[in-house]
Amino acid sequence: MHKKIVRRTFSAESAASLGDMHPVLRRVYAARKVASADQLEQSLKRLLPYQSLMGIDKAVSLLAAALTHQQRILIVGDFDADGATSSALAVRALKSFGAEQVQFLVPNRFEYGYGLTPELVQAACVLAPQVIVTVDNGIANHAGVEAAKALGICVIITDHHLPAATLPPADAIVNPNQAGDTFPCKNLAGVGVIFYVMLALRRHLVETGWFEQRGLPVPNMSALLDLVALGTVADLVPLDHNNRILVRHGLQRIRAGQCIPAIIALLEVANRDFREAVASDLGFAVAARLNAAGRLDDMSLGIACLLTDDSMRARHLAAQLNQLNQERKSIEQGMQSQALAALKKLELTEEALPRGLCLYDRQWHQGVIGILASRIKDRFHRPVIVFAPGQDEQLKGSGRSIAGFHLRDALALVDARHPRLIDKFGGHAMAAGLTIQRQALETFMKAFEAVVAAELTEEQLQHAWLSDGELTDEDINLELATLLREAGPWGQAFPEPVFDGQFAILEQRIVGDKHLKLRLSKNGKVIEAMAFFVDTESWPNHRVASVQAVYRLDVNEYKGRRSVQLIVDHLEGQLKS
């Protein structure tokens, strides 16, 4: 579908207030609402203090008591990368604090569903936990918490998902999004929440002489920031100032080789150099392979990889995760072809497409519907929910949204208008999940479309490439490419700089079956460029003399030589006259 190019606007006053820096970088930051140099200061001293997190004192008190009495602690995670990193961080931190009986349990999505369900509590009884700590889940698991409490188990919830009107009867809840919480950063990922809890617990243990009395070294909490960075990027939470600090310092540890073996192994298996890692590598290379375990098999494999300190074992587990990711890609490609064929069969024009798309096929894989929803959302630029068969007569749905449409709130509105239509739901603004009965699908589709149609404007549905403007040929250089690479971390709500411009084509050829390699020219300056996953029926096109391109500046390293190249996200050819 055609997308127009829209250039980001920025305040010249804000740009000027950022001080002495490259003018391109000034306008990039200003377009992302950075109003002062203070907002770019990313030392760990600028991290928000944990004290204002509601419930954190109670959680620390309960965990300190569990350590004192060496109670059996069970970490219950989620089956995505945020849940996996949260689980690994909790286990690593507690063991470094001297806990002797710490285990983790992650639900198999096909058997137990999401979070601390009563069925998972029953399965956990084999481990005889005295304390359950949920990470990246729990805020919606009323029945599961009640089941654990009935068995005399202390339950501590750490989560970041949006809560319902009533909270589960846990012994302590730490979630920056619960009503009355004054912690300024509402965008922490699950791994960020448990990091803050462990930060507060370590402070309490230091102040009470715990480590000194037991002859234990005081753990360096910054050693956990590689996991925090990975989980934060993977969960696509907005990279506000606080999250950028967490991600930046995690990336610094990874680049220095001071991270857990799993991250290096997963980068290696994806052909990425850990010494050059950026935030997008964590999302597209590392998290994708971790998530494959939760989508197709059991996230326990991913958590085991994150917990090992043995490099050889980490490589072995990373290879298994990579294989699962290859299988996931194959399944996803088949599902995407089926979904696009089904939409084509409807013979709808772009204007006639429903504003909210709901898709279902009884053969689709429950573990891959979230990725499929994301792909269809990107293609048609509208909220998408994809369903697959669940247990009995249930359907499991996974949705992805576009800017300006809060998906979780939309599901809450559907639920309010049609009580008992949705069995359960939860999530964020950009991603959510739900369960419905099979016979309710048609009713749900109409109800969801009604909410989307009422809430989304025509302007929000417009396809557009957002650009930071044009670069001069002098600006397209290695210095600026390196500067932009280091100026992040870039990610959700703080996007990587993208530029647009017109270039003459000198050479064009396909490499690696589906990637277009270009040599371009701008005012006589020759520039190398790559466009990945192009339509090979349209490119190369030797009738085209020039292109209008939307691109990112990149640093290409080959045989020790570094050079600037363009990564082309979109190109439109202009025919030779």
By the 10 Å C-beta count (0-12 exposed, 13-18 middle, 19+ buried), 326 is classed as exposed
- In the three-class reduction of DSSP (H, G, I as helix; E, B as strand; rest coil), residue 69 is classed as coil
Distance CA 375, CA 371 (A): 6
DSSP 121-159: HHHHGGG--SEEEEES--TT-HHHHHHHHHTT-EEEEE-
Inter-residue contact 572 to 535 (CB < 8 Å): no
User: What tens digit of pLDDT does each residue of 429-443 get?
Assistant: 888 999 999 999 999
Half-sphere exposure at residue 83, Cβ-oriented, CA atoms within 13 angstroms: 30
DSSP 454-465: HH--TTTT--EE
User: What tens digit of pLDDT does each residue of 228-279 get?
Assistant: 999 999 998 999 999 999 999 999 999 999 999 999 999 999 999 999 999 9
pLDDT at 537 over 90: no
Q: Cα 530 to the chain's mean position, in Å?
A: 25
In the chain, what is the straight-line distance between the N-terminal and C-terminal CA atoms, in Å?
25
Q: Residue 55 has which token pair?
A: 């419930």
Instruction: Catalogue the long-range contacts made by 450-458 (C-beta closer than 8 Å, 24 or more residues apart).
Output: 451/356, 451/410, 451/413, 451/414, 451/417, 452/354, 452/355, 452/356, 452/382, 452/383, 452/405, 452/410, 453/354, 453/355, 453/356, 455/405, 455/410, 456/355, 456/356, 456/382, 456/383, 456/404, 456/405, 457/404
Q: Residue 443 has which token pair?
A: 């009713």
Domains of the chain (ranges, CATH numbers): 4-32+464-575 (2.40.50.460), 49-322 (3.90.1640.30), 346-455 (3.10.310.30)
In 3D space, the residue among 395, 398, 385 whose CA is nearest the CA of residue 438 turns out to be: 395
- What is the predicted pLDDT for the residue at 347? 63
Distance CA 467, CA 28 (A): 10
**163 upstream amide cis, omega within 30 of 0:** no
Inter-residue contact 498 to 465 (CB < 8 Å): yes
Inter-residue contact 45 to 222 (CB < 8 Å): no
Length of the chain: 577
- What is the predicted pLDDT for the residue at 343? 79
pLDDT at 542 over 70: yes
SS (H, E, C) 229-282: HHHHHHCCCCCCHHHHHHHHHHHHHHHCCCCCHHHHHHHHHCCCCHHHCCHHHH
pLDDT at 286 over 60: yes
In 3D space, the residue among 345, 347, 301 whose CA is nearest the CA of residue 324 turns out to be: 301
- What is the predicted pLDDT for the residue at 558? 81
Distance CA 258, CA 298 (A): 28
Residue 321 host element (H or E): helix 311-345
Strand order, beta sheet including 131-135: 102-105, 73-76, 131-135, 154-158, 172-174
- What is the predicted pLDDT for the residue at 459? 82
Share above pLDDT 70 across residues of the chain, in percent, rounded to a whole number: 98
pLDDT at 1 over 60: no
User: What tens digit of pLDDT does each residue of 126-153 get?
Assistant: 999 999 999 999 999 999 999 999 999 9
Q: Whole-model pTM? A: 0.90
Please report, as a single letter, which amino acid is at residue 65.
A
Half-sphere exposure at residue 149, Cβ-oriented, CA atoms within 13 angstroms: 14
Confidence band of 296 (pLDDT split at 50, 70, 90): confident
Provide the greatest CA pair distance for the chain: 82
User: What tens digit of pLDDT does each residue of 549-569 get?
Assistant: 999 999 998 877 899 999 999
- In the three-class reduction of DSSP (H, G, I as helix; E, B as strand; rest coil), residue 371 is classed as helix
